[in-house]
A and B are shown apart, each in its own frame.
Chain A
Amino acid sequence: MTRPVDGRPSNPLLVLAGLVAVASIAMTAAQGVDVSVLAVSAAFAVFIAIGEVLRITLPGGRQAAPIASAGALAFAFMVNFGDRPMLYGAAFAVTVVTIGSVAGALPQTFFWRGLHLDELARRVLTTGVAAVVFRSWLAPNLGAEPDPATLALLMTLVATCVVAMDVALAAAVRSAQSRSPFRTALVDEFRASIGLSSAVAATGVLIALTAQTMSYWALPVFVVPLLLTQFSYRRYATIDDTYKQTMRSLSKVTEVGGYTGTGHSSRVSRLTVTIGRELGISERGLTDLEYAALMHDIGQLSLPEPIASGATTLVAPDVQKRIARFGAEVIRQAGVLDLIADIVERQADSYRNTQGVVDASLPIGSRIIKAVNAYDDLVGASLESDRMLQAIERLRIGADREYDPEVIDIMAGIIDRQISRTYV
């Protein structure tokens, strides 16, 4: 659900990055290349290509190639390599980074994983900005023998800004692809990548700084800490993935037990998460919401006999509430899923109470699951557009009393798009 769709060619970010890359290559070709920096540039291109191959998947399905990004940043910042001054311009830096990135990405597209153009595009753009700001504007004002501590401070500053820009770009792409509000996407993106981005920025600055004394040694040596970071992220992503897989599998227990129809919980969770995302719920909130939706029927295990076809909407409201409460108790036992238990507990409560007042304490997750559950009980796995539209109409009648009208509106929009995708 949080897996980003790979960049489509229409994506403006890709167009911009492509233009920057082509312009840089053209400028480099026109100006010619300083032969003294050729070997160093080749080393960095290879380094970036290897980093591109060693990319990792972060929790939430994000892609990152920390080593390649650190190498790109270092190349944008490098002032001296050994005893040679590195006098190339921003265009040349972008060219080398582009060549390295593409060289590393190409074999992957042919052999195993898909091409992650978004991430590549962001790297080209951030390298360009970092190189222009640092090489063209700041470095010329520092004199012939700049103080290393000042350099380090400036590099750190520029790297921080560039990382912030990268986060904003990633958030914009994600917001456009998943229809979640930009602000939510920005916070999510910041939370997800601040750790790795700081490690990348620090490593990039370090390589650029120490290249003067350590020359080629700087590259392999400073990769070691980053590898450790990368390793810890990989483990974290694995357990995160395992958690999701398990929840999805275990949510099938009610289906195997004959309490709910096949695919009910996974359909409910998919639609619930889509609605939640458009409502601007954060990524963490969406994970909780997904788990709550997957397990919303677990309380039915308390029933000695399954309800006919598992449709909880067909039984009396207080039975629904009892099932919800029981499910919440099961989940609460884990001790770590209280938020999820709260959502499950109140999934059967009406939007307005008997006095007609909106219940402010009702979690948004419960409101979504209530509506989606009712919708799925009416439609099931059916793909008939008439049935879908009828179900929405029926829910609209109950909207404002039983269901949150905002949730129903967003759901109607999603169903409309689904129908037009299927029939156009």
Chain B
Amino acid sequence: MRDFPLRTRLFIVAVAVLGAVVLALCVFKTWQAHVSDTELNINAIITLSLLVLGAEAFSAALARSVATRENVDISVGMPIAMASVLLLGPWGAPIVGVMVALEPRPVPWFKRSFNGGMNVLASFGAGWVYAILHAQLSGQQLQTFPTTLSFSPVNVLIPMLAATLTFEFINGMLMVSVLSLAESVSPFRIWFGTMYESALPLFIYSIFGLLIAVVWSIVGPLAAILVLAPLMVARWVFTMFSAHQQAYEATIRSLIQAVETKDAYTRGHSERVSRASVLIGRRSGMREDRVSSLRYAGMLHDVGKLGVPTRVLQKAGKLSDSEFDAIKEHPARGHDIVKNLDFLGEAIAGIHYHHERMDGRGYPEGLTGDQIPEFARIIAVADAFDSMTTTRSYRGARSIDDAIGELRRCQGTQFDPVLVEALISALEADAWELADTGDQVQPHHSSPTYASDHDDPTVSRELGLGGPILVPDDVSELEGWMGEIYQRDVEGPV
């Protein structure tokens, strides 16, 4: 809380206090009605409140049983809060609404009280909108404490939708205000950002709320369990899904590291190429599903190195033509490995052609310009950038500025100029974390051996001419070193 500017803190306190005042008023009104009017079932308020708490606790436990990290945001308390708008009216609903803020998750107290205040105000507003519209449309008297509810498309569904919109509006306004105060961003930008994310869930919650309310008026509290069962199951499965997805990405990552052990100095290379590719993709305005495919493409782009004999990859001394041809095989070998993975989509072509050059002098097929798939052109830039900015056995890492200069020099001939500029502007916007391979691979300046770093544009040029490049000279030393890396990885933070 202390990290926020004063005006943000004041706003949070104001919302919490206003919520508390309204809540107190609601409790007072409800109590008054309870004393004077026996029709009011105060048990319903208590039951609904307990159900909110119970549902949140149960679904959190269910989620914990599956996942290590919780990042699914389906609330099972919210539908009950929406149901209480219909069942309890404007004075009763906020009492249940505030319970949603008591969800059993580690939430900072100021956030909790802000959420509580927000829920009270939103359900208070929604409750009035529903009550007034319902009275107007059904021609009945205004009921601030509804007694029964019978479903009707016009009298119930339309007021409910209006109440949902009100709820979303109040919720959204308060959210947007606090975020724009905290981060000094334009409220409009936040409005569209948060509304886009929260509008649909809220709408679904309100549908569930309507269903609970309708069934509640027939069978009582069993309604909440019956209606929420599919939602709970959905939440549980979503949690399993996200746990599975994390496991999946971790698996790919570790397999890629296995690939990298063959090519000594490229530890972490695939991961960084993947990151740089994503930067370029986002900069050039790619859709998010393509960006995610691009991430896999970057991660897997060198998987075909496994098809290149280790002897060649780690060779000490100059490569013969046939050995260099063997290295040139790796994009095609990579293609062989991933070609059956339907979900990779465009990434397959990206892996296959990531060593093509704009001028047609690349491999495997010598495609030119736009013939080269976009993913491949992106990976080519990211690949070269990373290999230049990391420490290699035969030289230290270059600075980012040097690497940018080199990319600019080769744009048009080797790289797509648009994508080079995209990377450069992305690098200006976000700080690039340089790889810390320095402590693992010390440049072997003392040993004048040769390497086949085909990713480095300065070297590729030389490779074309059969020029000298350097490599670690002792393969057995390399093996020992690999063991070390694994040790470090198992123990140290990743």
Q: How far is the CB of B397 from chain A (nearest CB, A)?
A: 24
Beta-carbon contacts under 8 Å, B211-254 to A = 211, 214-215, 218-220, 222, 225-227, 229-231, 233-238, 240-241, 244-248, 250-254
- Distance, CA A242 to CA B251, complexed state (A): 12
Q: Which of A247-255, A269-277, A343-351 contacts B (4 or more CB under 8 A)?
A: A247-255
Determine whether the beta carbon of A209 is less than 8 Å from that of B218: yes
- Is B13 in contact with chain A by the CB < 8 A criterion? no
- Is A148 in contact with chain B by the CB < 8 A criterion? yes
Determine whether the beta carbon of B230 is less than 8 Å from that of A225: yes
- Distance, CA A156 to CA B222, complexed state (A): 10
**Nearest neighbor of B296 in chain A, beta-carbon distance:** A246
Query: B151 to chain A: which residues have CB within 8 Å?
Result: 210, 213-214, 217
- Distance, CA A221 to CA B303, complexed state (A): 49
- Distance, CA A256 to CA B322, complexed state (A): 18
Query: B337 to chain A: which residues have CB within 8 Å?
Result: 249-250, 252-253, 256
- Is A413 in contact with chain B by the CB < 8 A criterion? no
Determine whether the beta carbon of B311 is less than 8 Å from that of A304: yes
Q: How far is the CB of A232 from chain B (nearest CB, A)?
A: 4
Query: B244 to chain A: which residues have CB within 8 Å?
Result: 236, 239-240, 243
Q: Bits for A194-235, please: 1 = Cβ < 8 Å to B, else 0.
A: 011011011101100110111001000110111011011101
Query: B254 to chain A: which residues have CB within 8 Å?
Result: 330-335, 337
Q: Which of B16-24, B182-190, B255-263 contacts A (4 or more CB under 8 A)?
A: B255-263
Q: A156-B222, A206-B227, A243-B248 are in contact. Are A256 and B340 (CB under 8 A)?
A: no
- Distance, CA A196 to CA B306, complexed state (A): 42
Determine whether the beta carbon of B306 is less than 8 Å from that of A229: no
- Is A149 in contact with chain B by the CB < 8 A criterion? yes
Determine whether the beta carbon of A243 is less than 8 Å from that of B251: yes
Determine whether the beta carbon of B314 is less than 8 Å from that of A239: no
Interface centre among A236, A245, A248, A303 (most CB of B within 10 A): A236
Q: A301-B261, A334-B247 are in contact. Are A202 and B314 (CB under 8 A)?
A: no
Q: How far is the CB of A291 from chain B (nearest CB, A)?
A: 9
Query: B219 to chain A: which residues have CB within 8 Å?
Result: 148-149, 151-152, 209
Determine whether the beta carbon of B251 is less than 8 Å from that of A334: yes
Interface centre among A243, A329, A331 (most CB of B within 10 A): A329
Q: How far is the CB of A292 from chain B (nearest CB, A)?
A: 12
Determine whether the beta carbon of A256 is less than 8 Å from that of B230: no
- Is B429 in contact with chain A by the CB < 8 A criterion? no
- Distance, CA A238 to CA B252, complexed state (A): 16
- Distance, CA A151 to CA B220, complexed state (A): 12
**Nearest neighbor of B247 in chain A, beta-carbon distance:** A336
Query: A335 to chain B: which residues have CB within 8 Å?
Result: 250, 254, 494
Interface centre among A195, A239, A302, A333 (most CB of B within 10 A): A333
- Distance, CA A250 to CA B338, complexed state (A): 7
Query: B230 to chain A: which residues have CB within 8 Å?
Result: 199, 202-203, 225-226, 228-229
- Is B139 in contact with chain A by the CB < 8 A criterion? no
Contact residue range for chain B? 35 or more
Q: When the two chains form the complex, which single residue of A232, A252, A253, A257 contacts B234, counting CB atoms closer than 8 Å? A: A232
Query: B222 to chain A: which residues have CB within 8 Å?
Result: 149, 152-153, 156
> Interface residue count for A (Cβ, 8 Å)?
66
Determine whether the beta carbon of B215 is less than 8 Å from that of A206: yes
Q: A156-B226, A334-B250 are in contact. Are A304 and B314 (CB under 8 A)?
A: yes
- Is A7 in contact with chain B by the CB < 8 A criterion? no
- Is B490 in contact with chain A by the CB < 8 A criterion? yes
Query: A209 to chain B: which residues have CB within 8 Å?
Result: 215, 218-219
- Distance, CA A326 to CA B258, complexed state (A): 10
- Is A258 in contact with chain B by the CB < 8 A criterion? yes
Determine whether the beta carbon of B333 is less than 8 Å from that of A330: no
Q: When the two chains form the complex, which single residue of A202, A206, A236 contacts B237, counting CB atoms closer than 8 Å? A: A236
Query: A185 to chain B: which residues have CB within 8 Å?
Result: none
Determine whether the beta carbon of B341 is less than 8 Å from that of A195: no
- Distance, CA A245 to CA B345, complexed state (A): 13
- Distance, CA A181 to CA B266, complexed state (A): 48
- Distance, CA A206 to CA B252, complexed state (A): 43
Q: When the two chains form the complex, which single residue of B204, B211, B238, B253 contacts A222, counting CB atoms closer than 8 Å? A: B211
Query: A153 to chain B: which residues have CB within 8 Å?
Result: 222
- Is A298 in contact with chain B by the CB < 8 A criterion? yes
Query: A210 to chain B: which residues have CB within 8 Å?
Result: 151, 214-215, 218
Q: A232-B238, A252-B337 are in contact. Are A301 and B489 (CB under 8 A)?
A: no
**Nearest neighbor of A212 in chain B, beta-carbon distance:** B218
Determine whether the beta carbon of A301 is less than 8 Å from that of B241: no
- Is B5 in contact with chain A by the CB < 8 A criterion? no
- Distance, CA A136 to CA B230, complexed state (A): 29
- Distance, CA A304 to CA B264, complexed state (A): 12
- Is A318 in contact with chain B by the CB < 8 A criterion? no
Q: A149-B219, A253-B306 are in contact. Are A247 and B241 (CB under 8 A)?
A: no
Would you list 30 pairs from A and B whose C-beta atoms are within 8 A, ordered by A residue? Answer: A156-B226, A196-B233, A199-B234, A201-B229, A206-B227, A212-B218, A213-B150, A228-B230, A229-B231, A232-B235, A232-B237, A233-B237, A240-B244, A242-B248, A242-B341, A246-B248, A249-B341, A250-B252, A250-B303, A250-B337, A252-B337, A253-B303, A254-B306, A256-B306, A298-B255, A301-B306, A303-B310, A330-B258, A336-B246, A336-B251
Q: Which residues of A contact B (CB under 8 A)?
A: 148-149, 151-153, 156, 195-196, 198-199, 201-203, 205-206, 209-210, 212-214, 217, 221-222, 224-226, 228-229, 231-233, 235-236, 238-240, 242-243, 245-250, 252-254, 256-258, 298, 301-305, 326, 329-337
Instruction: Other than A210-B215, A256-B333, give 4 A-B pairs with Cβ distance below 8 A.
Output: A206-B226, A228-B234, A246-B251, A336-B250
Q: Which residues of B contact A (CB under 8 A)?
A: 150-151, 153, 204, 207-208, 211, 214-215, 218-220, 222, 225-227, 229-231, 233-238, 240-241, 244-248, 250-255, 257-259, 261-262, 303-304, 306-311, 314, 333, 336-338, 340-343, 475, 479, 482, 486, 489-490, 494
List 5 tightest A-B contacts by C-beta distance, closest first: A202-B229, A334-B254, A225-B230, A333-B254, A199-B230
